Amino acid sequence: MAVHNSSSSQPTAEAPALSRRAMGTAFLGAAVALTLPAGSAQANLPEVTFKKDLKKRKIPEEDYVELPANGLRVYDLNEGSGPAIKAGDRIIVHFDCMYRGLDVVSSRSSRLLGGNRTISEPYEFIVGEPVYAASIPNFGENANGMYAGGSGPKPPQALSLSAVGMKRGGRRSILVDKAELGYPKGVNELPAGEKFELKIEVLSIASSK
């Protein structure tokens, strides 16, 4: 009987100790959890890093599609909505010329104001026709004469040719590797005749042919 009582009493003595230990661990874990705000930076780090890498990821050139009319290679970032743009349509866009990560020419910073401040000026043109450095109608009146300079940045000729097929609200990336469709003499940080990426965002279709 002594042996039986001894063996049966040992688990009974240890059980409370194990229970207290488990409870202590659970309490500590709960206390640590309370000190971390919901959605803490550490918890979201992998997701944030992934989104940042995704944003910086370069579009492979093989994903671009060649336009049969002029050989320009395009990639639609956003299709947009409504009827497709065709030659002869008058449209209003924003454009950016990117070279090695630099925005060398852009309609988003096209006017110089007092105090060296710049404002964006959407560019209006007729699709398929040559483009020149010009502002949209009546801009001077809307700006109350605050801007300096006679015209905005001159877009590349590729702008007029590569907008065909786009839609309102659409965004497109174009690889410009033909000097005559880009900047044969160079511009700002872009050397003469160098390949660059042209980005177009269609704001509206002013009139359709």
Residue range 53-105, pLDDT digits in tens: 444 568 999 999 999 989 999 999 999 999 999 999 999 999 999 989 888 88
In degrees to the nearest 10, what's the CA dihedral of 14, 17, 22, 27? 170
Task: Give every CB contact of residue 157 below 8 A, 6+ residues apart in sequence.
Answer: 130, 131, 180, 181, 182
Beta-strand pair 196-207/90-99: antiparallel
Please provide the CATH number assigned to the domain covering 61-207: 3.10.50.40
User: 101-122, pLDDT tens digit by residue?
Assistant: 888 888 887 555 555 555 668 8
pTM reported for the whole predicted model: 0.63
Hey, where are the domains in the chain? 2-56, 61-207
